Amino acid sequence: MGKQIKGFSKFTKEEKIDWVIEKYFADDQKEARKTLEQYWNDNKDLQKIHDEFIENTLTNYYLPFGIAPNFKINNRIYALPMAIEESSVVAAAAKAASFWFDRGGFTAKVKSMTKVGHVHFVYYGDYDKLWGWFQTVKDRFFRDTEDITKNMRARGGGIEDIVLINKNYEEPNYYQLKATFNTVDSMGANFINTCLEQFAQTLQNEMMESDVFSPKEADIQIIMSILSNYTPECLVRAEVECPVEFMAVDGMEAGEFVQKFERAVHVARIEPYRATTHNKGIMNGIDAVVIATGNDFRAIEAAAHTYAARTGQYRSLTDCEIKNGTFRFWIEIPLALGTVGGLTTLHPMVKFAHKLLGNPNAEELMKIIAVSGLAQNFGALRALTTTGIQQGHMKMHLLNVLNKLGATEDEKEYFKNFFRDKVPHYSTIVSEFERLRSPKGK
Ligand code: MEV
């Protein structure tokens, strides 16, 4: 067993690299060092920004940053920034955007912007007594956070409400202060958590000072104070619609396509195995823009999947209907996003992405990102219900395989033609590559 390393975070970057290389790459020190150093940025100031995002930074980890143009959303045209490693995602987004560009584009609407946080606590007294007392001191919670909320209120946000919730039936003596917030254009995590920690203090102090409670009752235990990443009331809806007759695709007649498409969506509404993959495809589009715009994709993922399971069964985030000769396809998804604070002012590529989108506010960004998810899902279902997914997928993946094999530019060109009308399976690529490189193939 190895010894624990102490004080690692205090090492300089060079010392950290020396340590990791000696310990884990003893057989190949030069190569390992080169791998890390080749991703350092020559611009020292820029590198410093990245070094300081997290602790123990050794180097940078690149993702491709691409754009998907032609997104018509509420009659405005956007090029979406996408940071993602999966080969076919940007191509699928761009294709879906073009398809809907000619059919009226996407419409999107923010339904609500409310975020939530809780003080989770234990109280050993009578609930009615606590409830009655809470109503008389509720104002105090707003007053004690006035300094914290001042700037947010000036921007039109702040604390919306604070309520007491009895969870005693599910966990003995467990209660919550549930607070709702409007954080306007910031994601608001720090703001919410700071307010909640003050609420916990106020709760403890006020109960201690009140003569309503006995000393034992007043001695509550604060379990924790934290925002919830489940934001079902920070909700956006995006949608497309079009007369069925204009929905012929990839050699398939319009009526047959929309019917198969609708069935595919309904399968994902009732079958969790399919719903998971269906929603994964939606998140391909959502996460790529979330990451490009410097937002927290883990928070977005967590909320999306809880929302997908809100009926007690995990279901598709999108839905579809064919009525009176019209095809309609939509998504409703919670998206707690920020367009100010966080990485938005720090990361040059994040700034670039916001500028590319016309510096949207949080509501606009919610609409754009919901559309990105809907478009991605449309692209996936279109492929799945017509040509199959592998055709487009493997065509994009072909380049990855060829790069892995060390193909030259001429060879890449040859393979593009070779697979023009067939699906490039991995084994076929490799065997054709070997044949081409063999003395006979030349
Ligand atoms: C692949 O990343 C995503 C898909 O599997 C989504 C889907 O099946 O709907 C293509």
Computed over every residue of the chain, the mean pLDDT equals 95
What is the tens place of the pLDDT at every residue in 268-323? 999 999 999 999 999 999 999 999 999 999 999 999 999 999 999 999 999 999 99
> What is the average per-residue pLDDT within 39-52?
96
What is the tens place of the pLDDT at every residue in 20-31? 999 999 999 999
pLDDT exceeds cutoff 70 at 89: yes
pLDDT exceeds cutoff 70 at 389: yes
Dihedral through CA 76, CA 64, CA 383, CA 286, nearest 10? -50
> What is the average per-residue pLDDT within 217-246?
98
> What is the average per-residue pLDDT within 324-346?
94
- 383 Cβ contact list (under 8 Å, min separation 6): 92, 389, 391, 392, 393
Query: Is 266 known to be catalytic?
Result: no
pLDDT exceeds cutoff 70 at 1: no
pLDDT exceeds cutoff 90 at 153: yes
Catalytic one among 262, 287, 296, 364?
A: 296
pLDDT exceeds cutoff 80 at 377: yes
Q: Which residue has the tokens 């589009």?
A: 285
- 102 Cβ contact list (under 8 Å, min separation 6): none
Contact 277 CB / ligand 1 (< 6 Å): yes
What's the pLDDT at 400?
A: 85
Rounded-to-integer distance, Cα 9 and Cα 163, Å: 41
Q: pLDDT confidence of 442, banded at 50, 70, 90?
A: low
Q: How many whole angstroms from 320 Cα to the centroid of ligand 1? A: 17
Least confident of 83-97, 285-299, 356-370, 422-436: 422-436
The protein residue with its alpha carbon nearest to ligand 1, atom 1, reads: 281
> What is the average per-residue pLDDT within 327-345?
94
Rounded-to-integer distance, Cα 234 and Cα 303, Å: 10
What's the pLDDT at 342?
A: 83
> What is the average per-residue pLDDT within 342-351?
91
More confident residue, 226 or 426: 226
The protein residue with its alpha carbon nearest to ligand 1, atom 3, reads: 281
Cβ 380 vs Cβ 387: under 8 Å: no
Residue 242 φ/ψ region, left for φ over 0, alpha for ψ in the -120 to 50 degree band, beta for the rest: beta
Q: Which helix (H) or strand (E) holds 118?
A: strand 115-122
Query: Is 347 known to be catalytic?
Result: no
Q: pLDDT confidence of 399, banded at 50, 70, 90?
A: confident
Q: How many whole angstroms from 387 Cα to the centroid of ligand 1? A: 14
> What is the average per-residue pLDDT within 109-120?
98
pLDDT exceeds cutoff 90 at 15: yes
What is the tens place of the pLDDT at every residue in 170-198? 999 999 999 999 999 999 999 999 999 99
pLDDT exceeds cutoff 80 at 395: no
What's the pLDDT at 422?
A: 80
Rounded-to-integer distance, Cα 84 and Cα 98, Å: 20
Contact 380 CB / ligand 1 (< 6 Å): yes
Q: How many whole angstroms from 195 Cα to the centroid of ligand 1? A: 40
Rounded-to-integer distance, Cα 138 and Cα 109, Å: 33
User: Positive or negative, the Cα torsion across 31, 32, 33, 36?
Assistant: positive
> What is the average per-residue pLDDT within 435-439?
90
The protein residue with its alpha carbon nearest to ligand 1, atom 9, reads: 278
List Cα–Cα distances, 378 to 289, 292, 369, in angstroms. Answer: 17, 21, 14
pLDDT exceeds cutoff 90 at 394: no
pLDDT exceeds cutoff 70 at 144: yes
Query: Is 126 known to be catalytic?
Result: no
Reduce the secondary structure of 130-182 to three states and give it as a string. Answer: HHHHHHHHHHHHHHHCHHHHHHHHHCCCEEEEEEEEECCCCCCCEEEEEEEEE
Percent of the chain at pLDDT above 90? 89
Q: pLDDT confidence of 166, banded at 50, 70, 90?
A: very high
Contact 383 CB / ligand 1 (< 6 Å): no
Contact 318 CB / ligand 1 (< 6 Å): no
Q: Which of 304, 279, 285, 381 is nearest to 84 (CA)?
A: 285
Residue 352 tokens read as 């670039």
Give strand pairing partners of 218.
none
Query: Is 280 known to be catalytic?
Result: yes
Q: How many whole angstroms from 282 Cα to the centroid of ligand 1? A: 8
Q: pLDDT confidence of 341, banded at 50, 70, 90?
A: confident
User: Positive or negative, the Cα torsion across 372, 376, 381, 386?
Assistant: positive
Query: pTM value?
Result: 0.92
Q: How many whole angstroms from 380 Cα to the centroid of ligand 1? A: 6
Contact 284 CB / ligand 1 (< 6 Å): yes
Catalytic one among 178, 266, 280, 305?
A: 280
